[in-house]
Structure formats: structure tokens, C-alpha cells
């Protein structure tokens, strides 16, 4: 996939660039990476801080033949791939917070935004957006993000070669994507559990039924987070934003 990486300078969001390419019919694995995003997007309509030359701001086109309800599993797969790439290349102890955040020392290092395009035949394509805060220093963050965000530079104490890291991310994505397409979620789920900072932790979650609290005990067959409540009952949580307590 590394040969399919297209580089751009300043864009609003690489998600939009990747969507345009996907609509034109580029093969899966085509990726775009920008130096800077002026309207970088996070999950839940949030903004993603993407200053020039400081990070990996990248979106990858995927065309998996999977049922629509399996699409959230692509987020888990991407998380495992990016976490592996970061650990291999930088030695920074990144861990995955369910479903899509990579943390170091409890602070956010990377986010993944999976967007899908659905047509009459089901999933047409998905865009995996990957934002890795590579070479941001404390001063590069606006004050309101400083306490909850970190970077590979801050954690590892030295700048990261972004070219190398982007190539490694694509290699790992390629490997884990093939694994997923060949063997399903199971091997990805085991790798996810190994790299997770959520498992074994007490977590809270806002649901339409109210606040839910329990211990994260694993990933279910569909990729939902298994939460054991104090009365011993286990619920699978499929979406939402969890708080590590």
C-alpha cells in the first residue's frame, strides 16, 4: 500500500480528499496524507487539531466485502495496526482505549475516524482517518487540550520521522486488514486485548437508558465491549464514549 500514498499540502480534511478519490474508483489501500488540515474532524463532530508538519494526518480508502453491521470492526482493526506501528517504530507505550483512541500515560496520542458510504448493495467504501500527534510539543496545543493530549515527541523525547511512521502504519494496516479478511475478527480481537488500556478497568458509559458502570472484561464476537456490572451480568456495548474510572 505504501506506493499508493498521495501527499498533499494544506487541505480542509483528508477525509474529504479520500472520499473524492473513492468516488472516482481508486483501488482500496489508496491513502492521502496532508501536511496540514484546516478543518480536521474528530468523532462526534469535534475538531481535530492538525498543525502544519507536526503529525500524520492521513485517510485510507477501504472496500471490504463485509456486512454493514461489521463496519465498526474496521475501527478496531485500524487501532491495532496504528498501535503496533507506533510501538515498533518509537517504543512509546501506546495503548488502545475502546473503541478508537490511542493513549499514552492516559493522554490522547492518536484518534481514528471511520466513515462509511452506504449504497443499495450495502457498504460501498469506508474511509479510515488516522490522526497521530507525532511532533507536537506542549506549546503546539491550545490550552484547553494540553491536559488531555500528548504526542510521540512529548512521550519519546525525540522527533519522529513522519515518512517512516506513515509507511509503517500502512504496512501494519495492510497486514491486519488481510488477517481480518482471511480470519475474521477473532485474531484482531486478541491483539486488541493485548494492546488495550481498557480491559480490566472500571469504566462508565452514558447510554440512552442512563449511566452504566462496570468492569471491561473483553471484546465480544462482534467487537462490542463486554462490561461486567456489579451484579455479575455482562452487557455488550457497541457504541458510545467510555470514561475510564
The residues of the shown chain that bind ligand BTN, judged by CB under 6 A, are 13-15, 37, 40-43, 46, 48, 50, 57-59, 100-101, 111-113, 129-131
Give whichever of 60 and 179 is closer to ligand BTN, judged by the CB atom.
Answer: 60
Least Å from the CB of residue 133 to ligand BTN: 10
Least Å from the CB of residue 139 to ligand BTN: 20
Least Å from the CB of residue 147 to ligand BTN: 16
Q: Which residue is nearest to ligand BTN (CB)?
A: 111
Per the CB < 8 A criterion, the answer to whether 17 and 8 are in contact is yes
**DSSP string spanning 145-204?**
HHTTB--HHHHHSS---HHHHHHHHHHHHHHHHHHHHHH-HHHHHHHHHHHBSSTTSEEE
Residue 206: how many CB atoms within 10 A of its CB?
Answer: 12
Cα 102 → chain centroid: 7
Residue 116 to residue 107: CA distance in whole angstroms? 27
Give whichever of 50 and 84 is closer to ligand BTN, judged by the CB atom.
Answer: 50
Residue 123 to residue 68: CA distance in whole angstroms? 6
Give whichever of 8 and 217 is closer to ligand BTN, judged by the CB atom.
Answer: 8
Give whichever of 30 and 214 is closer to ligand BTN, judged by the CB atom.
Answer: 30
Least Å from the CB of residue 190 to ligand BTN: 23
Amino acid at each position: 500500500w505504501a506506493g499508493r500514498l498521495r501527499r498533499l499540502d494544506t487541505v480542509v480534511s483528508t477525509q474529504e480528499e479520500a472520499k473524492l478519490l473513492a468516488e472516482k474508483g481508486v483501488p482500496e489501500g489508496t491513502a492521502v496524507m496532508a501536511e496540514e488540515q484546516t478543518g480536521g474532524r474528530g468523532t462526534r463532530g469535534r475538531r481535530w487539531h492538525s498543525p502544519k508538519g507536526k503529525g500524520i494526518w492521513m485517510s485510507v480508502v477501504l472496500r471490504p466485502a463485509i456486512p454493514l453491521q461489521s463496519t465498526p470492526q474496521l475501527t478496531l482493526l485500524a487501532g491495532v495496526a496504528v498501535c503496533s506501528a507506533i510501538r515498533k517504530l518509537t517504543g512509546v507505550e501506546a495503548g488502545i482505549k475502546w473503541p478508537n483512541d490511542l493513549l499514552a500515560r492516559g493522554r490522547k496520542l492518536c484518534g481514528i475516524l471511520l466513515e462509511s458510504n452506504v449504497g443499495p448493495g450495502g457498504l460501498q467504501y469506508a474511509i479510515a482517518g488516522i490522526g497521530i500527534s507525532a511532533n507536537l510539543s506542549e506549546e503546539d496545543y491550545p490550552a484547553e487540550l494540553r491536559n488531555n493530549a500528548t504526542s510521540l515527541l512529548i512521550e519519546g523525547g525525540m522527533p519522529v520521522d513522519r515518512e517512516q511512521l506513515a509507511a509503517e502504519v500502512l504496512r501494519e494496516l495492510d497486514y491486519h486488514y488481510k488477517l481480518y479478511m482471511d480470519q475474521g475478527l477473532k485474531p484482531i480481537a486478541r491483539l486488541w486485548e493485548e494492546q488495550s488500556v481498557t480491559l480490566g478497568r472500571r469504566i462508565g458509559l452514558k447510554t440512552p437508558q442512563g449511566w452504566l458502570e462496570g468492569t471491561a472484561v473483553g471484546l465480544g464476537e462482534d467487537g462490542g465491549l463486554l462490561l461486567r456490572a456489579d451484579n455479575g451480568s455482562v452487557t455488550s456495548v457497541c457504541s458510545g464514549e467510555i470514561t475510564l474510572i
